[in-house]
Chain A
Amino acid sequence: MGNKQTIFTDEQLDAYQDCTFFTRKEILRLHTRYHELAPNLVPMDYTNDPDCKVPIQLIINMPELMENPFKERIVESFSEAGDGNLSFNDFVDMFSVLSEMAPRELKAIYAFKIYDFNTDNFICKSDLEQTLNKLTREELTPEEVNLVCEKVIEEADLDGDGKLAFADFENMISRAPDFLSTFHIRI
């Protein structure tokens, strides 16, 4: 317990608790995990908000993310600069959104970001192709990929602009009840 005080102040823990879906204990556990990623980089003492970031390579090698086909996109979506290097805040943020408690709307926003590979705020055909290739290990023929992507856009594109805006995406997600339980990483 004495150890706890040296990592975060009470105010910090309150802030984390109010801003994420985690309890104090989980925040501390997350810190431990974060610290384990790069013991040389990450200080144990976070009371004065040290500015340190763990590089993307170390983060995507976490067992929780290692096998995920979207690992780079996940990490990039949550990094502040978009380069995938996560500060502790980004790290907590990521697992907070991916936790069980996060509501569907919040999850949908970040899922949209993850699937939006070229970050143009639309899921366009190229994004879908990349998604599909990641999901199927690039073993579909280009024609099949094309066909599936067209179908997806046809199904989900409500306003007919040939790409999926966030509203289209959210609407689609609301029809997929499993999304809430599958967009979830246990830490």
Chain B
Amino acid sequence: MSQQNRDGVWNPAYHHSETLEMDRGSPERSQHQNPYASEDFRPQWDGGPTGRGGPEVLPPYDMERGPWDTTETIPMRPLPSEQDFGERYPATSPQVRNGFDNQGFEWEPANENSLAPPGWQQNSLEGHQAYRQGGESSLRQRGVRKYSLFPTGTLSTSALERLGFKEDEFQDVLEEERQDLVRELAAMSSRDRVRAVRQLPMNLQEKDQIRKTVLLMKTSEKQRQEQNCCTDCSQNVSMSFRRCGASLSAVPQALQLWQGTLKEIGGRFGTSVLSYFLFLKWLLMFNIFSFLVNFSFITVPQLFDHEAKNTGTFRGLEILTGAGYFSNSVLYYGFYSNGTVSGGSASGNSTSGMPQYNMQLAYFFTIGAYLVLCCISLVYSAARSFRENFMLAGAVVGNAGRLLSSWDFSVVNEKAVRLKQDNLRTQLKESLAEKTNENLSLTFSQKLARFGIHVAGWLVSTGMAAGCCAGVYFLCCYNMNLINKSPASQSLTVEAGTLLLPVVVSLINLVIPLLYSLFKKVEPFTFPRHQIYALIIRNVLLKMSILAMLCYFWLEQVVENDNINCWETFVGQDIYRLIIVDFIFCLLGSFFGEFLHNVIGTKCLSGLGVPEFDIARNVLDLIYAQTLAWIGIFFSPLLPAIQIIKLFLIFYLKKVSLMQNCQPPKRSWRAAQMMTTFILLLFFPSFSGALSVVAFIVWRKAPSKSCGPFRGLAVPYDAVSQWMDSVDIDFQGSSWAVWIYNNLIKSVLFFLIITLLVLILIYLYWQIVAGRKVLIVLLQEQITNEGKDKTFLLEKIEKLKAQNSAQTALASGREAQRGGAEVSHHTGSRAFQRSRRRSQDRGSRGLERGGVSTVDQGSRSTGRGRMPEYEPRSRGRDTALPGYVQEGLGTTSMLGSEREYPGRTDYLQEDPYSQEDGTGPPVPSALVQALLARRQAEEEDEEEGY
């Protein structure tokens, strides 16, 4: 290679560097001018040695233009005729010529040198990008997270050096960020600070250091503010308070139920099945809370009342029927007294010094407060889960989401992991297959058929639900007739007969959902998700309509029936039986549904397979039972206790059944969104239905005449109005409370205004949400546009780099070619240095553009302002050149230059002029110089355009 060069290869890139040299020589000159357009420019060129003929210019130039034009898309103005060019600019400047009179000049170093900077430049660009990316992405949401995302781990010191950062410079930047962070943290309240520190994406030691710095800063500030001896003391106190609080906050964690079991379930069956158990646990907590409230505010005071005594005998069947012994106990409404209860033995007499306890009010307010608390906590959890899980879920997550976010890290069981991997593989294959025949669209008749099937499915399912409701209603009426015939009968058979209704209801609840799930065999759904939702809606419809029918029966038939002396207790017993029988059917369901399925599937019919745990059905069962419990809370305040026992047993039962019989679900189950749906279901038809039933009873239905706390009142709510009247008389100071009661609580206008306000507020928020949606769309468009800009600019940089390297390569070839004439090591090295300087200059300019295009793509206008920040760094690299030259050649992707260079050498080898006379044609060089200078000027024009 060097052999040829010494022979004098004509190298056009040299001329490019030549123009650069001239740029540097005249810094005052306007950048946008085409140097060849100015007349002053000519003498400089004319002064150089001349004597090379014009005609010689043409062939090499022509040959050269080919590759230039194919690799370069920067538009050029039409050139003057080549002949003219050659005559006008016949030779190079003398200064440059000097440099190439060196025979022993080596090609290789110059080559390396000219190629290295682009590579280095790219490297540093990426470095910048990575660094900025690390900093900025974490910085976005909270000011606290300004600290670099990848502080040391990924950008090692050597890498930094390669990127052109002095290590201490980088440290300075980090240190600065750190200081900012510490200041920000110090300005926060201690609670926010702890939370912010916890969320810092760095390792523990760094967090700890930052925390200590902040604390130090805090204490020094405090000491400056108040030189008080109490400061120390108060600090100690606050510290111990914090420790105390921390240990208190650990208490609920210690109480956390079933931690190990849940971990085991999650480990074997994944998050989706786990979510069922978490839901169950959540319901259990709910019931424990309501039990505590009811027990302590209603039952405990009642137990002090010694007048009421239970005289029944316990026979055993009561556990199932809830009647008999239980019917006259604290379990039901009818047992509670209507008077005031005072402690001690002073049986209801207000003369004893003990405080009065009005059972009517206690009953009313406890139930009311409990329902309100339930409502708040339900709304809160539904809203939170909605916010977390439906935040941006509008767009369907395809492969990407499935691939990178679907892996369940909590699964630790080997078999489960393998199964999950297999399932994921099948899903991916399926989705690939779908992608390939995506265009398979349905014909109109097929669509019509599908629609028909759906309509039929809905008709059949709704019809079944209606039929079941009717059946339940007639059964209820039949039961009623039996009671009417023999009202006073206490025999066992009658009591057992009452079990008929709950058994039928539970049977319906068990069998009909199974029928519904058979629909999927005939009903085609495009997405499995739709199928699940349809199934859920049908099941909810069935269960809720049965419950509504029962409520209607209780409120219309039972209340009016004179043969029942305490209808609240009667309803309470009905609900009790429903809950107990539902539990038994739940046991049977898991036995037959899961255990037998498993046995048959593994032993007899292998086609049946091992059952999957049906999350939707099980969750709906839980919701149904909870609805019953909420409706029953008025009739039977201790129903939550039954519910607690039931849920507790169900947990273990389901766990055992799951572990023994089931396999993890095959389909990926969007557990988080499903959970949100379930909580919403629990809130909307279930809780709000129960609430309206209870409210209806309290405001509209006359209580029994002979039992319960509200006996003798027209409606239960009268207890409150009477109490308010008595308050008005008894306590003089509380007239404001009465005023509030009369003017606000009782006033329709007040609620009307509040409702209007809420509606207006909702409308406002609705509009804000709509606006934000538009904004999101706009921002997403902007992101894509920025991306396009980025790729465009990157391509541009690549091209420029390619051009640079090619030109410098040609320049060095030219140097070598000239070097054939004279032997002067000294000048050769000078030329070497000069060309190196040029390429560096070029490189730093490229970096500037890189800085504009990639780093600050969001704000191109400020990009210019930031340039100086990068420039010194890149210049600072000059000293360490040889190192990065090696690096650049060895590691970086000088795509453009490498792609282009071989072709160029080929051409150079074939150059007839270089073969003929060892010096090569000088006039073409002038032409090329002109051309390149012109192109450069145009580039600069472009650059300025940004």
Contacts and interface: CB of A to CB of B under 8 A. Distances in A.
A3 to B, nearest CB: 16
Interface in A115-132: 115, 119-121, 123, 128, 131-132
Contact of B254 (A25, A92, A119): A25
B208 A19 contact: yes
Contacts of A144: 428-429, 432
A151 B435 contact: yes
Given A147-B432, A151-B400, A177-B673, A90 B425 contact: no
A114 to B, nearest CB: 9
A75 to B, nearest CB: 13
Contacts of B429: 140, 144
A178 B271 contact: yes
Name, among A115, A158, A159, A173, the residue most crowded by chain B CB atoms within 10 Å (CB to CB).
Answer: A159
B388 A177 contact: yes
A56 interface: no
A37 interface: no
Contacts of B408: 182
A175 B388 contact: no
A17 B246 contact: yes
B412 A177 contact: no
A152 B429 CA distance: 14
B732 interface: no
Contact of B405 (A26, A155, A178): A178
B51 interface: no
B211 A177 contact: no
Nearest to B417: A67
A128 B208 contact: no
A44 interface: no
Contacts of A90: 203-204
A166 B397 contact: no
A138 to B, nearest CB: 10
A156 B400 contact: yes
A177 B199 contact: no
Contact of B395 (A19, A103, A175): A175
Nearest to A167: B137
B134 interface: yes
Given A128-B403, A140-B428, A182-B410, A23 B271 contact: no
Given A182-B410, A186-B263, A176 B397 contact: yes
Contact of A165 (B133, B239, B428): B133
Given A67-B411, A181-B271, A184-B410, A174 B425 contact: no
A67 B409 CA distance: 9
B672 A158 contact: no
Given A18-B197, A93-B204, A159 B786 contact: yes
A19 to B, nearest CB: 4
Contact of A21 (B134, B198, B392): B198
A131 B404 contact: yes
B392 A175 contact: yes
A135 B403 contact: yes
Contacts of B267: 186
B399 A148 contact: yes
A182 B784 contact: no
B247 interface: yes
A63 interface: yes
A109 interface: yes
Interface in A77-109: 78, 80, 82, 89-90, 92-93, 96, 98, 102-103, 105-106, 109
B417 A69 contact: yes
Interface stretch (B147-155, B164-172, B692-700, B735-743): B147-155
Interface string A129-162: 0011001110110001001100110011111110
Given A172-B401, A184-B409, A19 B204 contact: yes
A36 interface: no
B393 A177 contact: yes
Interface in B360-400: 388-393, 395, 397-400
B405 A172 contact: yes
Contacts of A183: 405, 409
B398 A155 contact: yes
A15 interface: yes
Given A25-B250, A64-B412, A152-B399, A158 B271 contact: no
A161 B406 contact: no
A174 B392 contact: yes
Interface stretch (B27-35, B595-603, B787-795, B834-842): B787-795
Interface in B506-547: none
Nearest to A186: B263
Given A93-B204, A109-B138, A177-B670, A182 B409 contact: yes
Name, among A24, A106, A132, A136, the residue most crowded by chain B CB atoms within 10 Å (CB to CB).
Answer: A136
Interface in A1-50: 10, 14-21, 23-26
B247 to A, nearest CB: 7
B258 to A, nearest CB: 12
Given A80-B203, A135-B421, A177-B390, A182 B153 contact: no
B398 A92 contact: no
A137 B425 contact: yes
Interface string B126-154: 00001001100110010001000110011
A152 B404 contact: yes
A167 B780 CA distance: 12
B197 A106 contact: no
A14 B194 CA distance: 11
B790 A159 contact: yes
B205 interface: yes
A121 B134 contact: yes
A18 B398 CA distance: 38
A107 to B, nearest CB: 10
A185 interface: yes
B716 interface: no
A175 B672 contact: no
B135 to A, nearest CB: 11
A161 B791 contact: yes
Nearest to B211: A18
Given A25-B253, A158-B784, A175-B395, A181 B791 contact: no
Contacts of A64: 412
A109 B201 contact: yes
Contact of A14 (B243, B410, B425, B787): B243
A123 B400 CA distance: 12
Name, among A67, A103, A181, the residue most crowded by chain B CB atoms within 10 Å (CB to CB).
Answer: A181
Nearest to B214: A18
B896 interface: no
Contact of B205 (A18, A89, A156): A89
Contacts of B446: none
A66 interface: yes
B133 A166 contact: yes
Name, among B249, B400, B407, the residue most crowded by chain A CB atoms within 10 Å (CB to CB).
Answer: B400
B391 A177 contact: yes
Nearest to A153: B400
A97 B405 CA distance: 15
Given A155-B399, A166-B149, A19 B197 contact: yes
26 contacts: A15-B212, A21-B198, A24-B247, A67-B412, A67-B416, A78-B203, A96-B198, A102-B199, A120-B154, A128-B403, A136-B421, A136-B425, A137-B422, A148-B432, A151-B399, A152-B399, A159-B790, A165-B133, A165-B137, A170-B137, A172-B397, A175-B395, A176-B397, A184-B409, A185-B410, A186-B410
Given A158-B787, A166-B133, A186-B262, 5 more contacts: A68-B412, A90-B203, A121-B133, A144-B432, A177-B388
Interface of B: 130, 133-134, 137-138, 141, 145, 149-150, 153-154, 194, 197-199, 201, 203-205, 207-208, 211-212, 239, 242-243, 246-247, 249-250, 253-254, 259, 262-263, 266-267, 271, 275, 388-393, 395, 397-401, 403-414, 416-418, 421-422, 424-425, 428-429, 432, 435, 670-673, 780, 783-784, 786-788, 790-791, 794
Closest 9 CB pairs of A and B: A159-B787, A177-B389, A160-B787, A176-B405, A89-B204, A136-B425, A179-B405, A177-B672, A176-B401
